[in-house]
Amino acid sequence: MKKNPVLLLGLFDTAIMTARCFCGRGINVYGLDYEYKHLGFSSRLIKCFRTPNPNENESIWLDFLLEWLHQFNETFVLIPTSDEFVQLSAKYHEALSKYCLFLIPQQQIIHQIIERDLQFNSAIASGLNVPSFVLGRTSPELLKHNNPTFPLALKPINTPEWKRKINNKGFVVHNNEEFNAILKLITSKNNVRYLIQSIIEGDNYYNFEVNALYFPNGRLVSHTIRKLRQYPDRFGTATCIESFSNPEVEKLAEKYIRSMNLVGFTNMEFKYNKADGQYYYIETNTRVWLQVNFSMKLGINFPMLYYNYLTGNESIKTSKVLSNGKWVDFLPDLLFWKIHHQNYNLSFIKFIKSWFPILSTGLFSLKDPKPFVKDFKFFHKITNIIK
């Protein structure tokens, strides 16, 4: 029996991890993106095609996509792998539904999640603890009258909008001088909206992420991981994580997912605050997550559950989640060690031992080596490591 092909919108690293979850199952995986520098174009697991840039002209992008889909005379299982493509998939849901099966929240819900201030307000309305924040336009008054406690985080309100103009996930400032310098940088970029948020202090291992898949029939499948390291330290992307059962955090995530009706993939982050013994909501992404191949190794193949549900296979099965195992993205984790090993009293031997038991890896893969090789060869972070 012929199987529906998969279409990944976006070919960043997350797409590669998602493609690994379909490997060896007789399912053709296609990928579309407009940024040829993304490493998914190097993966042998994905049949890749370049599209026009939707940021330059959405109509041209959509016409190209629909014409591309039409030529196959097949129904694709669509998985957007970035916030940008989640937004576009929700916006053009009706047009894409003629050729694709997919689960994402409604457009107005996506808007609430993408706009970070609305996201935080919805989390508060759901009964979650959220670190205090103000919109960027109130920042002069914040500093003048409220005598804020540093460090503070300056974050984008709309991440895809921010990324088009600022090559940084956000900024942490420790004093007025740093604040004014970063504020000058941000305000020099036209129409970049931002907010200022207090920071929950504590090392990386106080950060927990809940990975979930919520079906329209009400079934929710999830598991929790704990960050061990991330780059940049404390406020970046995870470089080493471990499986960690945390029912309290999973209940908080479930409460929000159900209240917002976040069907499809969800990745939520919380941080434990030692000062009051409470978990605080950090953020939600309504898309597949970078370490989804780790979830598969732990016992839950989320992309296949998603695929089976959409293609009418009701026998959705999961294994018991393993309680012991780690995921490592070697190159950025080595960069973390190079910069921060003294702060953490982390010898190189202790650092290597901390990887085990490895269940899954980031870009490194003997079965699909080109993305890792390309990352090693071209990215400046690697030259920093080997100098």
pLDDT confidence of residue 214:
97
pLDDT of 334 strictly over 50: yes
Which residues are CB-contacts of 227 (< 8 A; sequence separation ≥ 6)?
204, 205, 207, 208, 209, 238, 240, 241
Query: CATH top-level class for 204-386?
Result: alpha beta
Is residue 379 pLDDT above 80, yes or no?
Answer: no
Residue 187 has pLDDT above 90, yes or no: no
Average pLDDT of the segment spanning 82-105: 97
**What distances in angstroms separate CA 372 from CA 43, 358, 368, one per listed residue?**
9, 17, 8
- Residue 135, φ and ψ in degrees, nearest 5: -70, 150
Residue range(s) occupied by CATH 3.30.470.20 in the chain? 204-386
* pLDDT higher than 80, residue 140: no
User: With 80 as the cut, is the pLDDT of residue 177 above it?
Assistant: yes
CA atoms within 13 A on the CB side of 235: 16
Q: What pLDDT sits at residue 370?
A: 95
User: Average pLDDT, stretch 110-114?
Assistant: 95
Domain with CATH 3.30.1490 in the chain: 132-198
Contacts of 142 (CB under 8 A, 6+ apart): 134, 148, 196
Q: For residue 94, is pLDDT > 70?
A: yes
CATH code 3.10.450 for 132-198: no
Range(s) of the chain covered by CATH 3.40.50.720: 6-103
Alpha carbon distance 83, 57 (integer Å): 18
CATH entry, 6-103, from 3.90.850.10, 3.40.50.300, 1.20.1290.10, 3.40.50.720: 3.40.50.720
Q: Specify the pLDDT at position 386.
A: 46
Give pLDDT, residue 149. 81
Contact 221, 83 (CB under 8 A): no
Model pLDDT, residue 26: 94
Residue 238, Cβ neighbours under 10 Å: how many? 26
Q: In this predicted structure, what is the pLDDT of residue 160?
A: 83
pLDDT at 283 over 80: yes
What pLDDT is recorded for position 145?
44
Task: State both tokens at 168.
Answer: 């940084």
Averaged pLDDT, 9-36: 97
- In the chain the first and final C-alpha atoms are separated, in Å, by 53
For residue 80, the model assigns a pLDDT of 98
- Mean pLDDT of the 206-224 span: 96
